[in-house]
Amino acid sequence: MNKPLSSTTRFTRLALLAGILCAAALISCKKDEGPKAALPGDKVRTTFTLKINPQEQVFQTYDDIDIEEPQTLLSDIWVLEFDSLGRSLAVASVDEHIVGQDLTVDLIAGKNLSVYVVANAGSATFSTGMDLEAFKKATYDGRITQWDALPLIGEANIDVEWHDARIEAPVAITAIGASVSAKFILQPDSGYELLTLQLKNAPKTYYYFSGMPVTAADVENSAIISVLPDNLYTYTIPENLQGIDPAITSPKDKVTDKPATYFSLIARNTATNKRVEFRLYPGDNVTNNFNINRNIRYIMTCNVNFDDPADKRITVLE
């Protein structure tokens, strides 16, 4: 027959049971505490999404040309993190990413941080040895012949203060180059035939950051091609910001000595064999703007009167 428990023993057992229950409750509470605060310098898994700024278009044309569909699959993505002094904190790379899905990388915790995303970087590589000033001067050295091959870049200013952090606003990324297109219309009774076309003063170098100056030493001419009326000729090039000339008030006067990008069209008078050059400058307007901005497609249709003596864009070659 079991002896009844003493009051002391019963109290001890009840105390132990209460302690166990309290410990279990504390463990349960800890599991429900949510994100853990990160100390400055901690490595933190950080998740965000990307969106691509849509391609803008400047129409100086009679034609309606469809906007290209934005990309959905990106490759060779780099995420670079800098502190408020421009010092590199973290660099991460991802082989492929679908726009709109979560992108998760390791960043360093801190406040007032700058995060840059570079996509479609090709064989380009980045390291933590590159500070922000060096990154702003970095160039893309890959070959680009069409819009979809352009790298894209975006920036977010964030605070990373929690482990398993999430940046709620999507990081918007933008193509680092522009596209210029031209179509030349020739009237049957014009007396001229179109011979060749060449894009001149196209910048040689793509910079990841916008606003880099372009001098005469920084531009080059494309190959000369035979040109046909009504064909649309398109080139993908770096941005070229040559400004606005307020003294120009007519499209016929839109010429400049600056290294602004332009189409050089050569035509021949079929009766006299006289050859003339017509210069067509893309820009944010048809009159006096010589800026080729990134992420914009400039589309122009031009009906040229090669015998107009008032048109400064026309030069007699011989």
199-218 per-position pLDDT tens digit: 999 999 999 999 999 999 99
Going by the DSSP 8-state scheme, the letter that residue 69 receives in this structure is P
- Tell me: do 183 and 195 sit in the same domain: yes
- Give the Cα separation of 268 and 191 in Å (integer): 8
Place of tokens 């390291």: 127
Give the tens place of pLDDT for each residue, 262-296.
999 999 999 999 999 999 999 999 999 999 999 99
Say if 225 falls within a structural domain.
Answer: yes
- Give the Cα separation of 105 and 112 in Å (integer): 18
Say if 14 falls within a structural domain.
Answer: no
What is the residue-averaged pLDDT of the chain? 88
Say if 23 falls within a structural domain.
Answer: no
- Give the Cα separation of 277 and 290 in Å (integer): 19
Longest dimension (CA), the chain: 133
* Number of separate domains in the chain: 2
Give the tens place of pLDDT for each residue, 51-82.
999 888 776 654 555 556 667 899 999 999 99
Give the tens place of pLDDT for each residue, 72-118.
899 999 999 999 999 999 999 999 999 999 999 999 999 999 999 99
pLDDT of residue 3: 53
Last residue of a domain, which of 175, 202, 232? 175
CATH code (residue 183)? 2.60.40
Place of tokens 């703007």: 289
pTM to 2 decimal places = 0.84
Last residue of a domain, which of 150, 175, 200? 175
Say if 35 falls within a structural domain.
Answer: no
The three-state secondary structure class of 10 is helix
Owning domain of residue 240: 177-316
CATH code (residue 66)? 2.60.40.2580
Say if 112 falls within a structural domain.
Answer: yes
